[in-house]
Every structure is written in C-alpha cells, then in structure tokens.
Amino acid sequence: MPELVHFSADADPDQVHQQLLADGAVILDAVLSRAEAEAVRAELDPWVQATSPGRDRFTGFRTTRTGALAARSPLCRELIRNPGVLAQCDRLLLPSCERYQLHLGQVIRIMPGEKAQSLHKDRWAWGTHLKGVEPQLNTIWALTDFTRDNGATQVVPGSTTWSDDRRADPSEVTQAVMEQGSVLVYTGSVVHGGGANVSEGDRVGLNITYALGWLRQEENQYLACPPEIARTFDPELQDLLGYAMGSYALGYFSPPSAPGLDPEVVPPAYALGRRGGGSTLGSAADLAALNGDVTGR
C-alpha cells in the first residue's frame, strides 16, 4: 500500500509543492496544536451538532457537513489565510488565473457506523468539462485524530493524471492517517474519498478549499457570508471570499440604486464599502495580463 509523505508545518514550500505535484496529496504535521484544534472545534460545535446527516450515499447517511465558516468562526477566518496553505495555492493555481478564491469551507463529521465514501475527484464539481488545468487546491484540517478506524480520508497517490473512468484497485488506496492539528493538502485531480468509521467516536475534519478565480464556487460565498458580514473582515479575506474581480472585466456589477447615485460599473468590493483603487473593472495588473493575452505576449 502506498503512503502519503509527511512534512513539518514549516517545510520548504517548493519541496511540498513538488511532492504535491507527484502524488496529488501531502500531509503537513502539527500546523495547529491540539489546544488550538480543540478551540476551533468548540467554536463550530453548536452548528455541527445542529446539522442533519446527508440524504444520499455520497454525502453519507452518518456524515454531517456544516458550512459558512467565514461568517460563523473568527478562528476559521485565520485558517483560511494560513500562509503555508496559501503558498501552495500560489504555486498550484496562480499559473492559471490572476487570483484564486475560497471554493468552500465546511466541517465534515464522519460518525460511527458510516461506510466509506465512493472514490472521486473534487474537480468533478464542474463536471468533466475542464481539461488540461488544475482548478483547485483542497485542505482537510484534522480537528480530531484521523485513524484507519475512524474514517481517515482515502487517497490514491499519483492518480491526478488518471482518466475520469479509471477505477482504483484497493492496493492503490491509502489513508491520510494524521494527528489532530495536522492538515491534508490535496489537489482537485487526485482520487480520494471519506473513509469508513468503524470506531466509537466521531472523525471531525475542517475542509477548506480554494479554486481558480474564474470558476464558480462550490459554496456560494456571497450568500454564506453576505456583504453585511463580510464588510467587517480584513480586505485579504474579503478578496479570498470572492469580493474581488476574478480578472479584468470578470465579476463587476451595477448597483441597483437611484439614477446617478452610484457609478454604473463597480467591482464586488464596492458592496463592502471599499471605494476607489484603480479601474472600475479589474486592476492595472489585470488589464496588463489581458492585453498580454490579446497581443500574444
């Protein structure tokens, strides 16, 4: 059985990136202390306990999925901006976009008695239409220990280039066994799935995922974290949530206000009270990138 490579939390980002390209997944050990992981879990637990299990085999009849992390959890707002994770987003996603965005944030609780999830690629959120580009980078933060018995995520190292109809042999599948506070980092193209929980306790993981800025988000952040909440956040987090242009002329809106009250074309950050800052569409850098594409740079 193959095994995932573990790195320390302060490992060289370039080394982590090369292993991520090779296997499609790596584990960063002890990114949070056990006390920090417990604090995140405690902050989210009221919503987790109120969440009903899934209603089909894929989402899991003994699995709960609780979202809107940025709106509900100040601690999660910091995790979304974790420098080590964003360093991997920079390396994996920026070659294909001007900026990336938060794709989803949810607590996944696999309860005792849950069966293994079917293996899949997360990039299938957009169907099988995207070819030749990696659309996303995913993380699962272990808020409990992840063990073989309690449902540690199944992963098929090296499966990123597989065709969509290729099925894994059991000998090719491993599990992301890791201690509380560690983080599984994996691409949208690696085959994986939740494990079966044959233990007597919950397996709780924090799924924070990023995607190319020109793709639709799996979790609609504008509804999960609307402007009246997001306007209190740091601009970097606002941009990650999607309150920024995806690229030049991608994502602007016209305020539905009285005639002449507002500019006619503004970027999403305008809804948060952020005014000015360059073009009413994208930034000067976005325009330069667009001109480069148009002129065959």
Report residue 223 as tokens: 């509804």
State pTM to two decimals: 0.92
Q: In the predicted model, what is the mean pLDDT of the chain?
A: 93
Q: pLDDT tens track of the chain, all 297 residues? A: 789 999 999 999 999 999 999 999 999 999 999 999 999 999 999 999 999 999 999 999 999 999 999 999 999 999 999 999 999 999 999 999 999 999 999 999 999 999 999 999 999 999 999 889 999 999 999 999 999 999 999 999 999 999 999 999 999 999 999 999 999 999 999 999 999 999 999 999 999 999 999 999 999 999 999 999 999 999 999 999 999 999 888 999 988 989 888 888 889 999 999 886 444 566 666 666 656 655 555
Q: Crossing angle for the helix pair 13-23 and 83-93, nearest 10 degrees?
A: 60
Identify the pLDDT of residue 217: 96
pLDDT value for 287: 62
Could you tell me where the DSSP H helices lie in 138-226?
A: 221-224
DSSP letter at 130?
Answer: -
What pairing do the DSSP bridges indicate for beta strands 25-29 and 183-187?
Answer: antiparallel
What pLDDT was estimated at residue 74?
97
Burial class for 276, CB neighbours closer than 10 Å (0-12, 13-18, 19+)? exposed
The CA-based angle 145-149-150, given to 5 degrees, is 50
The label of the residue with tokens 């073009």 reads 279
Strand partners, 154: 175, 193
CA-CA-CA-CA torsion sign (214, 220, 226, 229): negative
- Residue appearing with tokens 């500019």: 263
Which pLDDT belongs to residue 295? 56
CA atoms within a 13 Å half-sphere pointing along the CA-CB vector of 240: 25
| Long-range contacts of the stretch 144-147 (C-beta < 8 A, 24+) | 144/41, 144/180, 144/201, 144/202, 144/203, 144/204, 144/205, 145/178, 145/179, 145/180, 146/175, 146/176, 146/177, 146/178, 146/179, 146/182, 146/184, 146/203, 146/205, 147/177, 147/199, 147/203
CB under 8 Å to 104, separation ≥6 — which residues? 67, 207, 208, 209, 217, 218, 219
For residue 289, the model assigns a pLDDT of: 61
In angstroms, the CA 264 to CA 262 distance is 6
